[in-house]
Amino acid sequence: MQALTLHEDPRSGNCYKIKLTAAMLGVDLETRQYDILKGETRSDAFLAQVNANGRIPVLQIGEGANARHLPESNAACWYIADGSRLIPEDRFARASMLRWMFFEQYNHEPNIATLRFWMRFVGETNLSAEQTAMIKPKRVAGHDALRVMEDHLQTHDWFAGDQASLADIALYAYTHVADEGGFGLSDYPHVSAWLARFAALPDFAPMV
Amino acid sequence: MQALTLHEDPRSGNCYKIKLTAAMLGVDLETRQYDILKGETRSDAFLAQVNANGRIPVLQIGEGANARHLPESNAACWYIADGSRLIPEDRFARASMLRWMFFEQYNHEPNIATLRFWMRFVGETNLSAEQTAMIKPKRVAGHDALRVMEDHLQTHDWFAGDQASLADIALYAYTHVADEGGFGLSDYPHVSAWLARFAALPDFAPMV
């Protein structure tokens, strides 16, 4: 594989997913840090060279003029894990893995990660009126997402197939810090057990 | 492949994606219709048997007691297209396809599809105060998404690889009806040209 560089903010769970995928597979990954609160991913250079969307993470593949860039955390995880044990070979299990990864980006991250970002990094008193109005609906939708996970984990050890996959990595990233957004997990015992099971895997790497 | 049944509301672009994928590959797909405005996907039977998330589309694989269910439109498209020309073989192109599919669910659908749903099917006068407050930010974010697409299409015919893939299907579904949500495409000539290019493909099937 060509040299891999992750453009990241270490506080972001979306960036952590990619580092966790690389760690679990023993893949080398350089990192370059940006402070999203200081707008460092909105600079002209970043927009022109890394991601016109102004967002991190971005996985850079190769160096210099031949470098290619891959935004979207879950797509970057797929690139690193393609052909590995973290992507099930069975057709249904593979599609189910993607099902949970899309669920994570649609139902989980916009609620649980956004409230964590607002509460822990922006600060509730610094939110706009529009953001403040979104706290309650995001709180409800975040708990709905946790409930769907809890229901699945009542009868499954992992989200897709019979071992940990990218779906578990994607959902672990923001679920294990959900309390930082005010989401207590005491009502979700199977989610809590799954978090512990995942963190006990041999090649697990914590968020730092 | 086992018998496939799509649980759908025909007005939904997310459902259309799956029918379009099947049509382009000549795969048989039965459909079962629900009216989401009448809450037909929130019934106890639907929640227990089809999707605990209460959402469509859901792709059902097999029949009766052995049936398995796959929510999330883009995961259902992947299941149907796995191993076909609609998923690039090249590692970077395949991950790039997923990049645009995650972009679609995170940046495009929650803005462009939601405003279309509110404007065309719910009616602006029937929106809650909370929904009304979200029109403007969703309008801005939807145009941001169209701008990212326009920038990409200035130098590419398709979103990933050198032919149409699931990324084009996913993004076509709600972009071609963006005007129903108040998103005119006159500022996005490359998006408009791509829509026409896509709809001219031999196995294209229109939304009905």
Residues 6 or more apart in contact with residue B66 via CB below 8 angstroms: none
ipTM: 0.96
Question: Would the pLDDT of A54 be above 90?
Answer: no
User: Best mutation site among A72, A80, A89, A128 for testing chain B: the one with the most B CBs within 10 Å?
Assistant: A72
Q: Say whether residue A105 is in contact with chain B using an 8 A CB cutoff.
A: yes
Convert the pLDDT of each residue in A105-146 to its tens digit: 999 999 999 999 999 999 999 999 889 989 999 999 999 999
Q: Do domains B4-81 and B91-199 have the same CATH topology?
A: no
Task: Write the class of the CATH domain B91-199.
Answer: mainly alpha
Q: Say whether residue B76 is in contact with chain A using an 8 A CB cutoff.
A: yes
Convert the pLDDT of each residue in B122-131 to its tens digit: 999 999 988 9
Q: Say whether residue A146 is in contact with chain B using an 8 A CB cutoff.
A: no
Assign residue B56 a region (left: φ > 0; alpha: ψ between -120 and 50; beta: otherwise).
beta
Question: Would the pLDDT of B37 be above 90?
Answer: no
Contact between chains at B102 and A148 (C-beta distance less than 8 A):
no
- Give the Cα separation of A34 and A64 in Å (integer): 19
Q: Say whether residue A67 is in contact with chain B using an 8 A CB cutoff.
A: no
Helical (H) or strand (E) element with B7: strand B4-8
- Give the Cα separation of A193 and A16 in Å (integer): 21
List the domain boundaries for chain A. Answer: 4-81, 91-199
Architecture of domain A4-81: 3-Layer(aba) Sandwich (3.40)
Q: Binning pLDDT at 50, 70 and 90, where does residue B49 land?
A: confident
Interface contacts A/B by beta carbons within 8 Å: 94
